[in-house]
Structure 1
């Protein structure tokens, strides 16, 4: 309800405004009346007023002085000045003060009501705009943490990225990196799948959130850090003003493990790279920390693994064959089974060189498996059909396999992906051909059987494609195309509706009327009239 205050030293004037209009019918309440500006200011302290209607000439505090004060203290209030013919100079001053409108005394009831309703409309529109702006602000505030996490994730996991753009997004979330050297620390909950099954997804998310808070609070004692989550792994970007040896961080990481155990009753494993990289080499630090964390598969849970100590200095391992992985992915996307088999064979030959390093073979194999899995999710393929099991089961299976079995497993998975991709491409070509045929022949007497014959499939399969790809039936799509064309033709007033019906493929004018009304919510003639009036 909108609250209106009337200020006038003449009681009969106030009474006339109050009683000559049924204010409640317009959802308006006369919240207060005052005899002059001084009394009005007292009442404003105790009542919420939306619209103030005031006379100019009043004892003690006149209307102009009242408006000045209201503008300063109650800027939301809309003001209406009432003046007689002899007060025109006062009225001009009032307009300069920013009054919303003015009335010339004596005023008819309808004039008063019209002005008040106009201001009511303005107030309601302002309320809507204010609510919308607040909604946008709240939505933006709520999205900032997610925006920041996504930017941090891209900063770390992607190559050839727009660093300035990502850093500006991170800064928008209230975070900036003041120091030149970077490293990464990765944390995973030991036996996470078991915890997720026991506690449920919501509880698991709370646990991850708790670890993020504890890890950031604990490691910030050692250096500046920022934390985010990437696929159930907690990652800390460590930022220091000098190159840091991992040994200097170990006391803080041990404290982190102890805090997580104490407050969340969880065991965690940690992989860490050195703090010695510029920001444009964070991807390398990510790979190293990830490789370190991967060692928990062989070393067991609850470990802190330093890449330099456990991997780089203790093996002559070659780096993961990224280019070969790219070749495998490219041949899969190309739908080339022979080339895919050839590239998987090259991957096997690469693994053969590492025969004395079973851990490395498993790690490289799992890396490729993960890339294949990621490819399936990106292309919206049926993961259950391709992998048939979760990654934990695949881990166990690969650990017990020899290199030939691993090769067969990788090849079988890659070929399944190729087949699904090719099937999807063929499906898209089929539906595109069907749609093109309908668009070119909608004006003819075509049916589901007609179109199916044209693209060399069964009518039943065509119906299935429409349902899967367009989420509509064949007939709905045909009507949609015909009615769209009919709407275009109806804009020409010289064309008869019956002729238009025939022109878009309907031999029965009555049936055309029924279909048109179903899809457009009105008859063809009503549509033509509506269109014509808009043009006029």
Structure 2
């Protein structure tokens, strides 16, 4: 069922349409009416109708202006235009506004019902198309390989929580259940034009080597087939390279690396034999946490750089080229992950992030000095977050010096972890509380601005948001959440209260009051006041008790 708003400045028209037509049968659960464009705008905020039926010629705001506003503010609204003028210019504007129908007055109930039913039919079709589960599943099935490839690429470009990876892997049908992981990179490179190359060599050279995209596709196909056959993991294209992800069930590093190397040898031989392409393969470090795959991938890229020294046609393991003793470091990615968890993550995500950070302490053997640096960098990251909190670290933790003193008094990793978790949970709560206070402050500033500027007939949400330096969409939701009314409704209420005050305390005429409370049209003030107070301004003033001289 849908909602309908009928707008016409002739009461007999709107009343007749509301009474004579069974709108429930037409598919509407709610039907409202308005006498002009401005009144319709207020009704929109309250009811958010699916269909707008509007006359063109109306006071304060004509139907075409209303339709234009509705399309901009509520773009899903369907529009039917009513007009007493058979003029091409009106019809042209209606077409530009993407009106669903254009009816000339006088029209019969049957004509309007037919137009409305056709509009409802189109809405039903659109709703069916957007909610058709089979169709959505088919689109998802077609898009799944792209989504899966984007997900795999994200694993080598940024650190992610294990929970997020597990959820996405399950969603995209990617098995990442393993005890150890290795990233390898196949480097392919299209040949540049060589003017010195003779025609015979150029003729013998495979055309494949001239097209990088075709090379990547061909190499990826070979690699994926072999990787899948051996049950080693996943192969995908990322930034003009083919990345191989080893997902090993073995905890022994030697066995996982041996199986990876065997698979890479078969890939190298197959590409040389069937594609005749000059490639090299870089192999990264073995890691235990899939969330840290980026470090293994980076090591594989570093290994691939050594092909300039050892030549193409080789599998280059970074451990053979450099000393790769795993180091305990609190890098930029880890700081970003911790900061995000504290600022916007759930408490569960925060605890999981901290578990991963302390998990590295248990896994990597490090000196006391390295351990101290690691922990101090984590504490410093938390102190940075307190800069913008009212009272800062002094109020929350007793100051930076005190915080470090607290840390130095801890006697074990377990104590340190419990202390750090408590620290982060407190900070997360304070940030959330501060965000809520900031929301209230924004609304209070908006109300203060409205009370100082309600006399401006051009005052609008756009002006308020420009003053507050926030977006209209964000402000509208915030204001309604805090006050239980829209900003437009609040502004109208404020102006009505000020009108009542002026009627009680002055002898100003209605047109003078209109100017003082932000109405450019006194008649529109009268219309709004009667709707608000149940009587005209004149009747309201006449009903006031007389004050003795």
The interval holding the TM-score normalised by the smaller chain is 0.3 to 0.5
Larger relative contact order (C-alpha < 8 A, sep ≥ 6)? 2
Q: TM-score normalised to the size of structure 2?
A: 0.35
